[in-house]
Amino acid sequence: MKPTSGFQQHVDPDLIARLQHGDLAAFEAVYRQFERAAWTLALRLTGRADVAHEVLQEALLKAFERAGQYRGDAPFAMWLRKLVVNEALMQLRHERLHMIEVFADDHADDGAPVPWVLVDAAVLDHALNRLPDTARAVLWLYHVEGCTHVEIAEQFGRSVSFSKSQLARATRRLRQLLQHSGEDMPCMIDSTTP
């Protein structure tokens, strides 16, 4: 299945050209097209609304001021997404939001598999927010944004095996968190079960 990130959108080349000439109205059109995608990505990567707000502001400001540097060798939306990801990772490093995390339960039992598609969205959202920042960011970039391990490794300035291990750990941790939430809030899980 192809990723369905909010950044999988075509941008009108005329709009890009106007933006590159500093047209604020064109930029607002681009902003409106991607505001939800950019905000969701910033929120998922940082896990905090206040930090996500900064990410959105700084990344989009850079998009406006650096639009002239966009050469068209990749889709405009991907260029924009990269600005958001870079800004989010920079903010995470700046805020030191647990960039170096230790999974205390690395060797814990994986437990039973989780029927992911049956999990209540609110429960999954809650569990996602309880993941360490790096793990959550890698998980989101890989599964939702469709980034490869090579791309994720580049974004983080780390190795491919770092990306793979973070993804495996994040998945394991998420599974554990969901199993615990199922025990704590059986109604929320049951509500999605046919």
Please report, as ranges, the residues that interact with other proteins according to CB under 8 A.
Answer: 1, 3-6, 22, 24, 27-28, 31-32, 35-40, 43, 53, 56-57, 60-61, 64-65, 113, 115-117, 119, 121, 124-125, 128, 139-140, 143-144, 171, 174
Closer Cβ to other proteins, 73 or 137, answer by number: 137
Q: Smaller CB distance to other proteins: residue 69 or 96?
A: 69
Task: Tell me whether residue 29 or residue 90 sits nearer to other proteins (CB atom).
Answer: 29
Phi, psi of 10 (to 5 degrees): -85, 140
Min. distance of Cβ 153 from other proteins in angstroms? 18
Question: How many other CB atoms are found less than 10 A from the CB of residue 36?
Answer: 10
Nearest to 5 by CA among 143, 103, 136, 124: 143
Of residues 100 and 146, the one with the C-beta less far from other proteins: 146
Angle at 116 between CA 108 and CA 1, to 5 degrees: 120
Alpha carbon distance 34, 13 (integer Å): 15
* Tokens standing for residue 16: 């890009």
Length of the chain: 194
CB of 48 to other proteins, least distance (A): 12
The minimum distance between CB 188 and other proteins, in angstroms, equals 14
